[in-house]
Amino acid sequence: MPAPSKRDKQSVKRFEQKRGERTRLRNLSKNFYKAIDSGDGDAARRLRDESQKAFSRAATRGIIHPNKAARKIGRFDKALAGRGE
């Protein structure tokens, strides 16, 4: 079995560096939708603001694609508006 190439090593390293932030983004999103479903408008607004900031920053830093961040942020706003908030 050949030794891993430099590209393979870089890919693994970047994956590990980005893993924590991606997990945080998923948890923020999940908690936001849980707050929406439970009817907790204050928590949902707070989580939306926190999520928007985190997704924008992740897109700027190259952790996720900028279009994905924009799509998620739009869906957060739409979900919050749909609940009559």
Determine contact, residues 55/69, Cβ cutoff 8 Å.
yes
Domain ranges of the chain: 28-85
- Give the other-Cβ count within 10 Å of 40's Cβ: 13
> How many other CB atoms sit within 10 Å of the CB of residue 32?
25
pLDDT tens profile 4-21: 899 999 999 999 999 999
Q: Give residue 24's pLDDT.
A: 97
Each residue's pLDDT tens digit, 27-74: 999 999 999 999 998 999 999 999 999 999 999 999 999 999 999 999
> What is the pTM assigned to this prediction?
0.86
